[in-house]
């Protein structure tokens, strides 16, 4: 018997038109939710198909095509004008233009990042079937590794303590069906989602315009980062922007399509940052210096484990950051002060940091690193990368012995101090906080991210991802530039 299942392959659903050709997005660049009345046609309405139009407005030097009557009245839904010039049709629409005098626009910019480096798989849980099997029918492997529950599905990964009614497995991600990129169906789904929120009083339609900022390397050049401008955005009286970012519908959309969504008000300062402040550990570099320091010291042999224990207690909230840092520094008492120099070759700069800083410098943007680590390493790294400011904790070194005393000089650079330093640097440079961007990954970065005009969580802890203004979960920190509206062509010019 031949196996026919291997001879035929089911084709994935796809759209006939690509993102970069005429499509639903380009028709007046306007989105109308289902079951909503069509808006009126303005003087600039374009009708592509001349044969389907009975009334048209044409420039006087041009003779109307046969079968098309010259329009002699006022444009209306019944008599939409047609603009023709040398055989070319023009798509003109003004919903995203400058507002009328005396009014202001309420535009919202949504930047969609496809997380190609972290594809999400559907959560089919065969282990749950094992849990419901009759007693005595346990598999030979038992209920160990094979019966673990994915960590993102329940409060526990142990079937012994699993809730009585386990959650249903998530469906297959939609990007598996419609393409591993920001597909037209993904954008349609997002626009439909945004249309479910109330609009400001007087607004009847949600207008949208899109720009592809980053394309993949395939022959079809699918978009990986897309910027959508929505006009107007959801009513701020109904849902402030900070709450909209945390809305469950946004979270579900991100999970379904494997994307990150960054929402920002379309203001002037969005496009022109003047100060960008970074955390150091797990942001500018991929490691945590305190753990790296402990791991490289062999005497005493249990130092790394003791430092890791304090770090774990701090993450559980048993210790404040200041107390935890002082306790860990105390463990370094008696070590030579030159150990920081030995760590320099070990530091691993995060992918994309060097070209990002080169681009920011060419734009005239000031940069700073505010670290809860050690000043000798932070200052050295700032010099290597060309940052303008560097602040971190200064450990005390005995002048006579050249060894660490286990003490820290001055205030600990924790959450409060980072916020103060950000405000101090901005004030010194004469930069409004609206034009400050703060990038970090830990809970001690939240206060400085909140003080900045834009706080960006970089591959951050879950709480930070939820609280930050925007989140990036890619493999290159250069992705930060897309939040400012730059596309790949412009970024390539900046990093040369």
Q: How many CA atoms lie within 13 A of 376 on its CB side?
A: 17
Confidence of residue 328 (pLDDT cuts 50, 70, 90): confident
Distance CA 460, CA 480 (A): 14
Distance CA 276, CA 255 (A): 29
Query: What is residue 349's DSSP assignment?
Result: B
Which of 117-121, 135-139, 276-280, 362-366 bottoms out in mean pLDDT, i.e. has the lowest? 135-139
State the catalytic residues: 279, 281
272 preceded by cis ω (within 30°)? no
Give the model's pLDDT for residue 94.
Answer: 61
Residue 316 has pLDDT above 60, yes or no: no
Distance CA 405, CA 334 (A): 6
Residue 125 has pLDDT above 60, yes or no: no
Which of 6-20, 295-309, 362-376, 421-435 bottoms out in mean pLDDT, i.e. has the lowest? 6-20
Give the model's pLDDT for residue 469.
Answer: 93
User: Is the domain covering 275-288+349-495 a CATH 3.40.630.10 domain?
Assistant: no
The residue with tokens 């770090």 is 311
Highest mean pLDDT among 188-192, 286-290, 294-298: 188-192
Confidence of residue 135 (pLDDT cuts 50, 70, 90): very low
Phi, psi of 225 (to 5 degrees): -135, 125
Confidence of residue 230 (pLDDT cuts 50, 70, 90): very high
Q: Is the distance from CB of 265 to CB of 245 less than 8 angstroms?
A: no
Give the model's pLDDT for residue 104.
Answer: 77
Q: Mean pLDDT throughout 285-309?
A: 79
Q: Is the distance from CB of 468 to CB of 460 less than 8 angstroms?
A: yes
Phi, psi of 445 (to 5 degrees): -100, -10
Can you name the residues that pair with 88 across neighbouring β-strands?
A: 85
> How many Cβ atoms from other residues are within 10 Å of residue 105's Cβ?
18
Which tokens sit at 208? 């949208």
147 three-class SS: helix
Give the model's pLDDT for residue 325.
Answer: 85
**First-to-last C-alpha distance (Å) of the chain:** 61
Which of 33-37, 380-384, 391-395, 471-475 bottoms out in mean pLDDT, i.e. has the lowest? 33-37
Rounded alpha-carbon distances, angstroms, from residue 13 to 20, 70, 74, 185: 18, 44, 44, 11
Which tokens sit at 443? 């809970």
Which tokens sit at 118? 């972290």
Higher model confidence: residue 268 or residue 141? 268
Can you name the residues that pair with 368 across neighbouring β-strands?
A: 277, 389
Confidence of residue 430 (pLDDT cuts 50, 70, 90): very high
Residue 263 has pLDDT above 90, yes or no: yes
Which of 68-77, 88-97, 283-292, 402-411 bottoms out in mean pLDDT, i.e. has the lowest? 68-77
Residue 214 has pLDDT above 80, yes or no: yes
Which helix or strand (DSSP H or E) is residue 448 part of? helix 446-451
Per-residue pLDDT reduced to its tens digit, 437-488: 999 998 889 999 999 999 999 999 888 998 999 999 999 999 999 999 999 9
Highest mean pLDDT among 66-80, 158-172, 331-345: 331-345
Higher model confidence: residue 49 or residue 218? 218
Query: What is residue 196's DSSP assignment?
Result: T
Give the model's pLDDT for residue 309.
Answer: 79
Q: Is the distance from CB of 227 to CB of 485 less than 8 angstroms?
A: yes
Q: How big is the chain by its Cα radius of gyration, in Å?
A: 28
Which of 18-27, 242-251, 377-386 bottoms out in mean pLDDT, i.e. has the lowest? 18-27
Give the model's pLDDT for residue 18.
Answer: 46
Give the model's pLDDT for residue 49.
Answer: 42
Give the model's pLDDT for residue 13.
Answer: 52
Which of 197-206, 278-287, 399-408 bottoms out in mean pLDDT, i.e. has the lowest? 197-206
SS3 sequence of 85-129: ECCEECCCCCCCCCCCCCCCCCCEEEEEEECCCCCCCCCCCHHHH
- Show me where the domains of the chain are located: 108-115+172-265, 275-288+349-495
Higher model confidence: residue 322 or residue 416? 416
Global confidence as pTM: 0.75
Distance CA 470, CA 227 (A): 14
300 preceded by cis ω (within 30°)? yes
Which helix or strand (DSSP H or E) is residue 390 part of? strand 389-397
Computed over every residue of the chain, the mean pLDDT equals: 78
Q: Is the distance from CB of 264 to CB of 355 less than 8 angstroms?
A: no
Can you name the residues that pair with 409 across neighbouring β-strands?
A: 394
Q: E-strand spans in 441-496?
A: 454-458, 470-472
SS3 sequence of 396-451: EECCCCCEEEEEEECCCCCHHHHHHHHHHHHHHHCCCHHHEEEEECCHHHHHHHHH
Q: Mean pLDDT throughout 131-147?
A: 39
- Non-local (6+) Cβ contacts of 442 within 8 A are 279, 281, 282, 460, 461, 464
Which tokens sit at 75? 């444009």
CA torsion angle 186 190 191 197 (round to 10): 170
Which tokens sit at 181? 């990129």
């Amino acid at each position: 018997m031949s196996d026919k299942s291997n001879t035929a392959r089911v084709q994935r659903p796809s759209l006939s038109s690509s993102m970069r050709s005429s499509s639903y997005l380009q028709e007046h660049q306007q989105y109308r939710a289902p079951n909503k009345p069509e808006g009126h046609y303005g003087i600039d309405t374009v009708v592509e198909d001349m044969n389907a139009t009975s009334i048209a407005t044409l420039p006087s030097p041009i003779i109307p095509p046969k079968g098309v009557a010259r329009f002699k009245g006022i444009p209306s839904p019944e008599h939409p004008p047609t603009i023709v010039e040398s055989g070319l049709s023009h798509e003109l629409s003004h919903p995203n233009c400058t507002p009328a005098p005396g009014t202001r626009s309420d535009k919202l910019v949504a930047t969609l990042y496809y997380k190609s480096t972290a594809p999400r798989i559907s959560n089919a849980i065969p282990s749950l079937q094992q849990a419901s099997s009759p007693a005595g029918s346990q598999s030979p492997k038992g209920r160990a590794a094979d019966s673990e529950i994915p960590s993102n599905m329940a409060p526990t990964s142990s079937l012994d303590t699993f809730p009585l009614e386990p959650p249903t497995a998530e469906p297959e991600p939609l990007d598996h069906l419609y393409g591993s990129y920001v597909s037209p169906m993904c954008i349609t789904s997002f626009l439909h989602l945004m249309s479910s929120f109330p609009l400001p009083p007087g607004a009847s339609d949600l207008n949208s315009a899109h720009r592809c900022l980053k394309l993949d390397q395939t022959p079809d050049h699918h978009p990986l980062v897309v910027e959508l401008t929505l006009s107007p955005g959801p009513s701020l009286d109904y849902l402030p922007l900070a709450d909209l970012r945390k809305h469950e519908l946004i979270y579900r959309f991100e999970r379904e399509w494997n994307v990150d969504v960054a929402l920002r008000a379309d203001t002037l300062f969005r496009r022109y940052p003047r100060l960008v402040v970074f955390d150091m550990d797990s942001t500018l570099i991929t490691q945590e210096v305190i753990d790296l320091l402990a791991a490289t010291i062999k005497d005493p042999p249990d130092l790394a484990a003791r430092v890791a224990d304090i770090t774990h207690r701090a993450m559980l909230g048993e210790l404040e950051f200041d107390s935890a840092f002082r306790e860990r520094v105390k463990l370094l008492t008696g070590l030579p002060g030159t150990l920081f120099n030995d760590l320099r070759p070990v530091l691993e700069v995060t992918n994309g940091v060097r070209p990002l800083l080169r681009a920011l410098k060419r734009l005239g943007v000031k940069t700073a690193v505010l670290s809860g680590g050690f000043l000798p390493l932070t200052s050295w790294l700032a010099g290597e990368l060309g940052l303008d400011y560097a602040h971190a904790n200064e450990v005390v070194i005995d002048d006579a012995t050249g060894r660490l005393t286990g003490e820290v000089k001055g205030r600990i650079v924790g959450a409060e101090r980072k916020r103060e330093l950000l405000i101090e640097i901005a004030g010194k440079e004469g930069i409004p906080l609206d034009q400050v961007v703060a990038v970090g990954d830990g809970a001690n970065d939240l206060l400085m991210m909140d003080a900045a005009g834009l706080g960006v969580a970089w591959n951050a802890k879950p709480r930070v991802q939820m609280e930050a203004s925007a989140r990036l979960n890619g493999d290159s920190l250069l992705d930060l530039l897309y939040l400012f509206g730059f596309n790949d062509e412009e970024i390539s010019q900046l990093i040369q």
